[in-house]
Structure 1
């Protein structure tokens, strides 16, 4: 048998199918290799900014010339050991400090998987394309430009009723649709909003107004297919302290997911009905630690919110009527999220409250996202004006994302009860 004939029989399969949701695992299988043949498996993808991300791992076929990533360990490469989705989460850019950008929902995350010979140039033996959809079939996407609100509304297919969630994704201006559209694909009506820098909004802001989120919640509750009594709020990083304020000062917030944030209002003063309700907790640039990669460790740069002069920044979460899910990564290097959770838990307990649960992830970093995207060790931080370390050990971080994504959906489903009668009344 010639070499060409041999390689033409190598088959790379993605099961159960090559087209799936972004947050679903795929089983990667190779057949038609020689018994115990050692090959290199690769994955590559280009993000929305045109940056290429890739990973590779060495595998050894079994006696039948087959490799199954659910069973077989990687011997070397971007990761080692049995990691069924390792080729996805270990993808890295070949330039430093790049975060994988997948913010738009209409185009899938396209990943090319391939099998290569170990020797020489590593001739390709087989390849397959994985289309990872960010928006499920039948989900509707509607840009929202109503009153002050600038965002995108995602609605699941079917009549509902569905629980409603406000997604405060980012503080970097603009919009990210990925988490919102994936949640909508799992049965939630989700509105993701921009705070600044999007569409006709100001490029920069010097204060935040709670009234904006109040308007967004009212808009969300009016949607035909919404059946939950109140809304859920999901947040990450700076937006997590905004979520605490939304839950503490505004009505109709039943469930709040706080991911790797602060227990105090940070950076910008917060206003409601034209009055300032909290100053911003600032950070000390001299406490940012430079590292060899050129990225800074900012974990302990934020001022202490418990210090007497900063107490006005602390958010009175004991006023919140709804429930909290606090999620902290112990290796968050953006700030000390774990200490913020400890402060919030102590505060709620002191006020006799039990309306919270918390999850701590020992080996995870700051950016906890929907699962199976490339892990990001460091990237440019708009507020700091430099690249920063996000923390986390890639494998533990990837596992935390899988666990958290399931937890978020369970939390919202449990605490955002749906009432068919309420939906009927709207229709």
Structure 2
């Protein structure tokens, strides 16, 4: 009977966003076939959902860590498949969860396959974006607008500047989760947030220099230099910061470009790089109405675009280059190959790279809904991001650990550094 069926989330129904949970059902009939579902609503009010069919064992149990899906968006054993396979009810929507204080709430349920699919049991998974006792401090100091996340304890902790989003608001998810893993993290906006301009025509590297100095003076920061983590357009800004500014010891570049893109880059009131531009006529519109813009960006290695290339050979810190081979936003893998070749040519060994064959553009902290397409801020239309969902989800799990290991390896802390009394 339905009253005997129980759906449990182990070890707890409350966890961090980047932590797996064991989804387990008991009290079913022996070998009963059921539909497992997950549903959630993001902070924009968009509903996401997923479902897959499972068969109970002889004891009437379904364990997603053990049992294969029989049908649905994935086949085989995928313990977190119901989370990453959630899709929006509306086409071309990306899962939006940017505010760290609001948890990602997922309703898991188990349903009969027969008849009207009656729900047999339900459980709520509260997936926190910020760990217990991690502090969040809104930053409005000098030109900097953002949020600072600090782990609990005396420290000292390594420091990271998160350039996740540089327009249209502030995304705190990655920063707050990194802080929950033992880093002091400052995430900043460049425009479109708080009292900042809604749009910009140029980017000033001085802004990131100011952010680095603000981060380094925090009481619990123990690393001599800071790390920078980026994604997409912010990748070239991270490269520029590492190449021109003091105090950048470790840079994570994820699916970006090797040249300065979109906006002229200034430093000390002087333009240091013109923008690498785009040829929108090269965009291919798919049947879904979304564009594919992988080949829209002009070639940075062409002679006329050489001034846009960022001189990463000048950087004193270490790089982690991350490329998705099925990135449909631009040719991230080719940019990595260019940067690796350039560094080797200059006798540099301060880098490592990782490529994910079937992953798409948006590599984020793991266990969020995979996004095949959504609105592109610059293109003004929905675009395809690429990736095979299952492989993309696996890449996010692997990369998240890789990022933390990279920063811990290259942002060593002074254990004897005094900590301010709070």
Of 16, 19, 25, 2:20 maps to 25
- The answer to whether 1:207 aligns with 2:240 is no
1:411-422, aligned counterparts within 5 Å?
A: 411-422=406-417
Structure 2: how far apart are the matches of 1:270 and 1:120?
62
Q: Deviations over 1:244-286 (max 9, x none)?
A: 0000000000000000000000000000000000000011001
Hey, what's the Cα distance between the residues in 1 that align with 2:42 and 2:419?
A: 42
CA contact (8 A) 1:73 1:80 kept: yes
Q: Which residue does 1:59 correspond to in 2?
A: 54
**Structure 2 Cα separation of the partners of residues 370 and 149 of structure 1:** 25
CA distance in 2, matches of 1:79, 1:292: 23
Superimposed CA distance per residue, residues 133-175 of structure 1 (whole angstroms, 9 cap, x where no aligned partner):
0000000000000000000000000000000000000133310
Counterpart position of 1:172: 167
Question: How big is each residue's C-alpha offset from its partner over 1:103-152, in whole Å with a ceiling of 9 and x where there is no partner?
Answer: 00001100000000001210000000000000000000000000000000
Structure 1 residue 141 and structure 2 residue 159: aligned? Answer: no
2:381 corresponds to 1:386: yes
Aligned twin of 1:264: 259
Please report the TM-score for the alignment, with normalisation by the length of structure 2.
0.99
Q: What residue in structure 2 maps to residue 154 of structure 1? A: 149
1:410 is matched with 405
What is the CA deviation profile of residues 194-247 of structure 1, one whole-angstrom value per residue up to 9, with x for unaligned ones? 000000000000000000000000000000000001000000000000000000
Conservation of the 8 A alpha-carbon contact between 1:226 and 1:423: no
- The aligned runs of 1:4-83 (5 Å cut-off) are 6-83=1-78
- C-alpha distance in 2, partners of 1:235/1:122? 44
Q: Which residue of 2 aligns with 1:3?
A: none
How far is the alpha carbon of 1:413 from its aligned partner? 0.4
**Structure 2 unpaired stretches of 5+:** none
Shift of 1:421: 2.9
| Gap change, CA 1:426 and 1:125, over 3 Å in 2 | closer
How big is the shift at 1:426?
A: 10
Q: TM-score, normalised by structure 1?
A: 0.98
Q: Is contact 1:227–1:423 with CA below 8 Å preserved after alignment?
A: no
Partner of 2:368: 373
Cα pair 1:44 1:55 within 8 Å, conserved: yes
Find the residue that maps to 2:404 and give its secondary structure.
helix
- Aligned to 1:124, which of 109, 119, 128? 119
Q: Distance in 1 between matches of 2:144 and 2:334?
A: 33
Rounded Cα–Cα distance in structure 1 between residues aligned with 2:128 and 2:396: 18
Q: Which stretches in structure 1 are left out of the alignment for 5+ residues?
A: 1-5
SS in 2 for 1:76: coil
Shift of 1:424: 4.5
- Aligned position for 2:354: 359
1:229 is matched with which residue?
224
Residue aligning to 1:348: 343
CA 1:261/1:224 → structure 2, altered by over 3 Å: closer, same or farther?
same
Q: How far apart, CA to CA, are the structure 1 residues paired with 2:115 and 2:367?
A: 31
Alpha-carbon offset, residue 94 of structure 1 = 1.6
- Alpha-carbon deviations, 1:65-100, whole Å to 9, x = none? 000001111111122111000000000012110000
What are the equivalent positions in structure 2 for 1:310-329 lying under 5 Å apart? 310-329=305-324
Q: Root-mean-square deviation (CA), in Å? A: 1.0
Q: Give, in whole Å, the separation in 2 of the partners of 1:172 and 1:197.
A: 5
Superposed displacement of residue 423, structure 1: 3.8
